[in-house]
Amino acid sequence: MQQVEAGKEGEISANIQFTDAFSPGLSIGIGGALIAVSETFQWGILNGVIVALAVQLLFVILSLAFSFRELYVRGRL
């Protein structure tokens, strides 16, 4: 919060709280759907779990890349 512009603290805090509440639910839902799809196509639960974890790893890598891009665009990196 120390690098937030004056007067924008509330907006940033609200965005962080929304992301903290929404992201885990979305991740769990997508993972569960992928496991259900793998069972439907008879790929097995293990393959569904592997696909779900791979997708979550992809999301983590993309989030990290976007966070550094944002810092670069703002000239803070």
Indicate yes or no: pTM above 0.75. no
Q: Which of 32-36, 48-52, 55-59, 64-68 has the lowest mean pLDDT?
A: 64-68
Give percent above pLDDT 70 in the chain: 87
User: Which is more confident, 1 or 21?
Assistant: 21
pLDDT tens for each residue of 25-35: 888 999 999 99
Contact 47, 38 (CB under 8 A): yes
Check: CB of residue 1 under 8 Å from CB of residue 9. yes
E-assigned strands of the chain? none
| Residue 4, token pair as written in the block | 């937030």
